[in-house]
Amino acid sequence: MGLFTKEELQRYAEKFLCGLYGQTGGSLDRSANSIDIYIKNISYGAYERPQYGYQATQAILRELKDQGLVQTWNLDQEVRLTSSGLDKCRGMCK
């Protein structure tokens, strides 16, 4: 079994995506730190258990990359929206 159920992964991926959208101001040219987005939008307890935060972030990023909604680099530490991700955020995030 994975770190999250399918429903949890979907819910956390949407929160992560909206957090990225907010932090980058919806710009395709701006990137953000993936762990910071996870901590600010999903789990404030990640600093207490850093390995869990890293594993959770990786699972969420894998899901979002598979859907073509984000791009990552620098060992997945930096993340930015794709045009598909931006379109999804415009309809989903408030």
Q: Which CATH number fits domain 6-92: 3.30.750.24, 1.10.645.10, 1.10.10.10, 3.30.565.10?
A: 1.10.10.10
Distance in angstroms (rounded) separating the CA atoms of residues 4 and 6 = 6
Distance in angstroms (rounded) separating the CA atoms of residues 62 and 59 = 5
pLDDT of residue 48: 59
Q: For the whole model, what pTM was predicted?
A: 0.89
pLDDT in tens, 59-81: 999 999 999 999 999 887 899 99
What Å distances lie between residue 27 and 21, 24, 31, 81, 85, CA to CA? 8, 6, 8, 8, 11
pLDDT in tens, 24-49: 999 999 999 999 999 899 886 555 56
